[in-house]
Amino acid sequence: MDDTHRGTSPADRFNVAQAVSGEPSDVPALMRDIGGRARLAARRLAIATAEEKNEALRAMAARIRDASAAILSANAEDVAEAKAKGQTSAFLDRLTLNPERVESIAAAVESIAALPDPVGRVLATFERPNGLRIERVATPLGVIGVIFESRPNVTADAGALCLKAGNAAILRTGSESFRTSLAIAEAMGQGLSDAGLPADAIRLVPTRDRAAVGAMLSGLEGNIDVIVPRGGKSLVARVQDEARVPVFAHLEGICHVFVHAKADLEMAKRIALNAKMRRTGVCGSAETLLVDRACAATHLKPLVAMLLDAGCAVRGDEAAQAADPHVTPATEEDWRTEYLDAIISVRVVDGLDAAIAHIETYGSHHTDSIVTGDAAAAERFMAEVDSAIVLHNASTQFADGGEFGFGAEIGIATGRMHARGPVGVEQLTSFKYRIRGSGQTRP
Amino acid sequence: MDDTHRGTSPADRFNVAQAVSGEPSDVPALMRDIGGRARLAARRLAIATAEEKNEALRAMAARIRDASAAILSANAEDVAEAKAKGQTSAFLDRLTLNPERVESIAAAVESIAALPDPVGRVLATFERPNGLRIERVATPLGVIGVIFESRPNVTADAGALCLKAGNAAILRTGSESFRTSLAIAEAMGQGLSDAGLPADAIRLVPTRDRAAVGAMLSGLEGNIDVIVPRGGKSLVARVQDEARVPVFAHLEGICHVFVHAKADLEMAKRIALNAKMRRTGVCGSAETLLVDRACAATHLKPLVAMLLDAGCAVRGDEAAQAADPHVTPATEEDWRTEYLDAIISVRVVDGLDAAIAHIETYGSHHTDSIVTGDAAAAERFMAEVDSAIVLHNASTQFADGGEFGFGAEIGIATGRMHARGPVGVEQLTSFKYRIRGSGQTRP
The interface predicted TM-score of the complex, written ipTM, equals 0.92
Mean pLDDT of all residues in chain B? 93
Contact B441 A383 (CB under 8 A): no
A240 pLDDT band, cuts 50/70/90, is: very high
Chain B residues touching A134 at Cβ < 8 A: 404-405
Q: Are B414 and B365 in contact (CB under 8 A)?
A: yes
Chain A residues touching B431 at Cβ < 8 A: 420
Query: What Å distances lie between residue A127 and A133, A134, A136, CA to CA?
Result: 4, 6, 12
B6 pLDDT band, cuts 50/70/90, is: very low
Q: Which stretches of B262-411 are DSSP H helices?
A: 265-277, 293-309, 318-323, 351-362, 375-384, 401-404
CA-CA distance, B232 to B199, in Å (whole number)?
A: 30
3-class SS of residue B184: helix
Contact A435 B132 (CB under 8 A): no
Q: Please give the pLDDT value at position A203.
A: 97
Mean pLDDT of all residues in chain A? 93
Contacts 24+ apart (CB under 8 A), B18-27: B19/B178, B19/B182, B19/B206, B19/B207, B19/B208, B19/B209, B20/B178, B20/B179, B20/B208, B22/B208, B22/B209, B25/B207, B25/B209, B26/B1, B27/B207, B27/B209, B27/B211, B27/B212, B27/B215
Computed over its alpha carbons, how large is the radius of gyration of chain B?
25
Classify strands A343-349 and A286-292 as parallel, antiparallel or unpaired: parallel
Give the CB-side neighbour count of residue B368, counting CA atoms within 13 A: 32
A348: β partners: A291
| DSSP code string of A320-373 | HHHH-TTPEEPPGGGGG----SSEEEEEEESHHHHHHHHHHHH--SSEEEEE-S
A283: β partners: none
Q: Please give the pLDDT value at position B433.
A: 98
Q: Please give the pLDDT value at position A150.
A: 86
Contact A435 B387 (CB under 8 A): no
Residue B248 has pLDDT above 80, yes or no: yes
Give the CB-side neighbour count of residue B129, counting CA atoms within 13 A: 5
- CB-nearest to A47 from B384, B393, B403 is B384
- B389/chain A closest Cα distance in angstroms: 5
What are phi and psi for residue A406, nearest 5 degrees?
-80, -5
Q: Please give the pLDDT value at position A408.
A: 87
Q: Which residue of A has its CA nearest to B119?
A: A383
Q: Which of residues 223-242 of A touch B (CB under 8 A)?
A: 225-226
B171: β partners: B146, B204
Q: Please give the pLDDT value at position A7.
A: 35
Residue B17 has pLDDT above 80, yes or no: no
Q: Please give the pLDDT value at position B407.
A: 86
Region B148-175: mean pLDDT is 95
Interface membership of B338 toward A (CB under 8 Å): no
Contact A430 B420 (CB under 8 A): yes
A295 pLDDT band, cuts 50/70/90, is: very high
Contact A433 B421 (CB under 8 A): yes
Give CA A87 to chain center in angstroms. 24
Interface membership of A46 toward B (CB under 8 Å): yes
3-class SS of residue A112: helix
Angle in degrees, CA B201, B401, B68, rounded to 5? 50
Residue A55 has pLDDT above 70, yes or no: yes
Q: Please give the pLDDT value at position B11.
A: 45
Q: Which residue of A has its CA nearest to B285?
A: A442
Q: Which residue of A has its CA nearest to B390?
A: A434
Region A23-31: mean pLDDT is 81
Residue of B228, B398, B400 to mutate for A, most A C-beta atoms under 10 A: B398
Q: Are B412 and B283 in contact (CB under 8 A)?
A: yes
Contact B390 A274 (CB under 8 A): no
Beta-sheet strands, E only, within A17-97: none
Q: Which residue of A has its CA nearest to B414?
A: A432
For chain B, the distance separating the N- and C-terminal CA atoms, rounded to the nearest angstrom, is 55
Q: Please give the pLDDT value at position B309.
A: 98
Q: Which stretches of A195-277 are DSSP H helices?
A: 211-217, 233-242, 265-277
Region B256-278: mean pLDDT is 98
Residue A20 has pLDDT above 80, yes or no: no
* Continuous segment of H or E residues that includes residue A381: helix A375-384
Q: Are A132 and B404 in contact (CB under 8 A)?
A: no
Report the C-alpha dihedral over residues A368, A372, A376, A381, rounded to 10 degrees.
-20
The mean-pLDDT minimum among A369-378, B230-239, B326-335 falls in B230-239
B20 pLDDT band, cuts 50/70/90, is: low
pLDDT 10s digits, A332-372: 999 999 999 999 999 999 999 999 999 999 999 999 999 99
Percentage of chain A exceeding pLDDT 70: 95
Q: Are B172 and B205 in contact (CB under 8 A)?
A: yes
CA-CA distance, A85 to A74, in Å (whole number)?
A: 17
Residue of B223, B356, B441 to mutate for A, most A C-beta atoms under 10 A: B441
The mean-pLDDT minimum among A4-18, A128-142, A154-168, A403-417 falls in A4-18
Q: Which of residues 83-142 of B touch A (CB under 8 A)?
A: 126, 128, 132, 134, 139, 141-142
Interface membership of B274 toward A (CB under 8 Å): yes
Q: Please give the pLDDT value at position B14.
A: 47
3-class SS of residue A341: coil
Q: Please give the pLDDT value at position B30.
A: 96
A11 pLDDT band, cuts 50/70/90, is: very low
Classify strands A429-440 and A313-316 as parallel, antiparallel or unpaired: unpaired
Question: Which of B386, B396, B378, B394 lies closest to B420, judged by CA?
Answer: B386
- A236/chain B closest Cα distance in angstroms: 16
Contact B437 A393 (CB under 8 A): yes
Computed over its alpha carbons, how large is the radius of gyration of chain A?
25
pLDDT 10s digits, B268-306: 999 999 999 999 999 999 999 999 999 999 999 999 999
Interface membership of A6 toward B (CB under 8 Å): no
Residue A96 has pLDDT above 70, yes or no: yes
Residue B8 has pLDDT above 80, yes or no: no
What are phi and psi for residue B241, nearest 5 degrees?
-70, -40
Residue B12 has pLDDT above 60, yes or no: no
DSSP-assigned letter for residue B7: T
Chain B residues touching A389 at Cβ < 8 A: 432-433, 435
Residue B204 has pLDDT above 50, yes or no: yes
Chain A residues touching B392 at Cβ < 8 A: 434-437
Chain A residues touching B378 at Cβ < 8 A: 436
CA-CA distance, B106 to A247, in Å (whole number)?
A: 39
Classify strands B328-329 and A367-371 as parallel, antiparallel or unpaired: unpaired
Q: Are B247 and B240 in contact (CB under 8 A)?
A: yes
Contact B441 A270 (CB under 8 A): yes
- Within 10 angstroms of residue A328's Cβ, the number of other Cβ atoms is 14
Report the C-alpha dihedral over residues B375, B377, B379, B383, rounded to 10 degrees.
-170
Contact B416 A430 (CB under 8 A): yes
CA-CA distance, A266 to A108, in Å (whole number)?
A: 37
Chain A residues touching B421 at Cβ < 8 A: 432-433
- CB-nearest to A246 from B246, B395, B434 is B246
Residue A1 has pLDDT above 70, yes or no: no
Percentage of chain B exceeding pLDDT 90: 92
CA-CA distance, A17 to A23, in Å (whole number)?
A: 9
Q: Please give the pLDDT value at position B4.
A: 32
Contact A394 B271 (CB under 8 A): no
Interface membership of B391 toward A (CB under 8 Å): yes
> Domains of chain B (ranges plus CATH)?
3-242 (3.40.605.10), 255-403 (3.40.309.10)
